[in-house]
Amino acid sequence: MAKLTKKQKKMQEMLEGFTQPSTAVDAIKKLKEISNEVSKFNETVECHMRLGIEVKHADQQIRSTVVLPAGLGKEVRVCVIAKGAKVNEATEAGADFAGTEDIIDKIAGGWFEFDTLIATPDCMGMLGKLGRVLGPKGLMPNPKTGTVTPTPEKAVEDVKKGMVEYRADQYGNIHVMVSKVSFDEKKLVENVQFVLNTLVKAKPATVKGKYITNISLSTTMGPGIHVDQDSIDM
């Protein structure tokens, strides 16, 4: 068994006597306390859910996006690949970078100074050659995540407001960033509630038994805290 670091030991000590599963509010308070004491930087808060789905069945593969009502608490750099008037519309909507061949050439040369890449359908053919570099970085535009769209200006606005992607892995787990640990507790809970509501609405009709079987919250470097689903108003 690997030896615990000083920070890990401190986290364990701070969790002693803490009842789990806890309410979402108590979990967030504890994560804030641990982050302030141990990590000492503005960590990302993530919501982790285990779903009772069979991912091998095509109709139970869950992947989409959600615009967090309280935002992400961080600046997201958006790049758009489009043609003609759509380039200007994307820029006016708040895109940090927008263009066509010029952007594609920069990416091909190793430029990745953006967090989200959006493209119009008529530009996807040109992006095909970049699949090998964009794919592994999770940056390849995809219709399922709303990043391949004929209205890039709307997608830019959604991303800037706090759009995040969620996708069930091979075990039925979903990991979603819900904000920064410095965020107000009420806003963090609001984002968690919204994510869970979205997942409930996306429940495949063929799922049998309990749908959301486990929920936990964690920070970038912090522990995972199990949350009582009944404590989240959905």
Q: Can you give the CATH number for the domain in which 55 is found?
A: 3.30.190.20
Residues 122 and 83 occupy one common structural domain: yes
Chosen domain end from 160, 193, 217: 160
CATH number at residue 116: 3.40.50.790
Q: Is residue 91 part of a domain?
A: yes
Looking up tokens 């519309």 gives 89
From residue 11, how far is each of 23, 60, 84, 182 by CA, in Å? 19, 36, 53, 18
Chosen domain end from 129, 160, 191: 160
b/e per residue, 155-182, with b = 16+ CB within 10 A? bbbbbbebbbbbbbeeebebebbbbbbe
Chosen domain end from 122, 141, 160: 160
In this prediction the pTM is 0.82
Residues 41 and 65 occupy one common structural domain: yes
Counting the structural domains of the chain, the total is 2
Q: Is residue 12 part of a domain?
A: no
Residues 141 and 177 occupy one common structural domain: no
Residues 41 and 111 occupy one common structural domain: no
Full domain range(s) for residue 143: 78-160
d(CA 194, CA 200): 10
Residues 67 and 167 occupy one common structural domain: yes
What is the full per-residue pLDDT of the chain (234 aa) written as tens digits?
A: 568 788 889 999 999 999 999 999 999 999 999 999 998 889 999 999 999 999 889 899 898 889 999 988 888 999 999 999 999 999 999 999 999 999 999 999 999 999 999 999 999 999 988 999 999 998 999 998 899 999 999 999 999 999 998 999 999 999 999 999 999 899 999 999 999 999 999 899 999 889 999 999 999 999 999 999 988 865
Residues 154 and 83 occupy one common structural domain: yes
Which tokens sit at 180?
């920064």
d(CA 182, CA 189): 13
